[in-house]
Amino acid sequence: MRTVLEVADLQVHFETARGPFKAVNGVSFALHSGERLGLIGESGSGKSTIALAIMRLIKPPGYIAGGRILLDGTDLLQLDQEAARTRRLADVAMVTQGAMNALNPVIRVRHQLLDGLEAHGVHLAKNEVDEWLAGLLDSVGLRPEVADLYPHQLSGGMKQRVCIATAISLNPKVIIADEPTSALDVVVQRRVMQTLRKVQEQLRAAVILIGHDMGLMAQFADRVAVMRAGQIVEIDDVRAIFARPQHPYTRLLMESLPSLDQRDSLLRSGPIARPAAEVPTP
């Protein structure tokens, strides 16, 4: 298996009055091409900070205090701002819980999607645009007509699909999904996760899924890393983590699932058929 992303001894600090706070304190892991890694851990354990570091989006008072983030051998931490910007979306893309609310309400979906391309210097010919948009929307289970709608005309699930479409528009090698469905209801969550899984398989992109829903993790992830206080305390195959959690904190997380039977059925159910295209609700 080819390693696409390697994070080595990553340190991210936040400057505080009492000195640096180590939000990420020596995190290392490797991601294989096409692999789905789950990143779990309590709120404040540093999950989103890792995501932002990989995206090169850590802002003051935060700073990267050490480590390497190798994407296909290039250290993202050594790139200047402009090179880092070009790599975002093109190589590593992120979908977040807040992304769907960050869609500009007065810009039609078509322009939201095309703007991302153009920011990366990709200009489609007029006669290619509609076909490209239709293909991209279809891959996230949306009809071509959605291109001409405004975000306020879309349901939460549809908005998050538009965000996934944006994320995959330049065929990234790595997709980071930071609690992408936390703001959605359970049924829509499942469908959006199925869509994410389908597109990552098509693109053969690796995914880091951040969250604390163990049920979603069991169905989605190949491997799971468990974080606590800025460190990975356990990382293993999803089945091994569920069957034999080693770290006391991981065991505690497992206890949030009612029974062993439930863990089993979560692992068995696996991916589900492709969701039907969602139509806009008036």
Report phi then psi at 8, rounded to 5.
-125, 120
Residue 192 beta carbon to ligand ADP: minimum distance, rounded to whole angstroms: 19
Q: Which helix (H) or strand (E) holds 83?
A: helix 81-90
Nearer to ligand ADP, 42 or 236 (CB): 42
* Residue where the block lists tokens 């965000």: 163
| Nearest residue to 86 via CA among 107, 101, 108, 71 | 71
DSSP assignment string, 197-247: HHHHHHHT-EEEEE-S-HHHHHHH-SEEEEEETTEEEEEEEHHHHHHS--S
Nearer to Mg ion, 96 or 112 (CB): 96
CB atoms within 10 A of CB 268: 9
The contact mask relative to Mg ion for 13-52 (x = CB under 5 A, - = no) is ----------------------------------xx----
Query: CA-CA distance, 123 to 102, in Å (whole number)?
Result: 24
45-104 residues in contact with Mg ion (CB under 5 A) are 47-48
Nearer to ligand ADP, 20 or 144 (CB): 20
The contact mask relative to ligand ADP for 24-63 (x = CB under 6 A, - = no) is -----------------x-xxxxxxx-----------xx-
Contacts of 72 (CB under 8 A, 6+ apart): 4, 91, 173
Query: DSSP assignment, residue 180?
Result: T
Residue 210 beta carbon to Mg ion: minimum distance, rounded to whole angstroms: 6
Q: Which of 4, 10, 23, 55 binds ligand ADP (CB under 6 A)?
A: 23
Residue 45 beta carbon to Mg ion: minimum distance, rounded to whole angstroms: 9
62-121 residues in contact with ligand ADP (CB under 6 A) are 62
Q: How many residues interact with ligand ADP (rule CB under 6 A)?
A: 12
Q: How far from each other are the two terminal CA atoms of the chain, in whole angstroms?
A: 47
240-279 residues in contact with ligand ADP (CB under 6 A) are none
Residue 169 beta carbon to Mg ion: minimum distance, rounded to whole angstroms: 24
* Residue where the block lists tokens 């899924």: 209
Nearer to ligand ADP, 50 or 193 (CB): 50
Report phi then psi at 226, rounded to 5.
-110, 125
Count how many Cα atoms sit within 13 Å of the Cα of residue 115 in the half-sphere of its side chain: 10
Q: Rule CB under 6 A: say whether 132 interacts with ligand ADP.
A: no
| Residue 50 in tokens | 């890792």
Residue 52 beta carbon to ligand ADP: minimum distance, rounded to whole angstroms: 8
Residue 63 beta carbon to ligand ADP: minimum distance, rounded to whole angstroms: 11
* Residue where the block lists tokens 């992304």: 99
Residue 96 beta carbon to ligand ADP: minimum distance, rounded to whole angstroms: 10
Nearer to Mg ion, 41 or 245 (CB): 41
Binding site for ligand ADP (CB under 6 A): 14, 23, 41, 43-49, 61-62
Binding site for Mg ion (CB under 5 A): 47-48
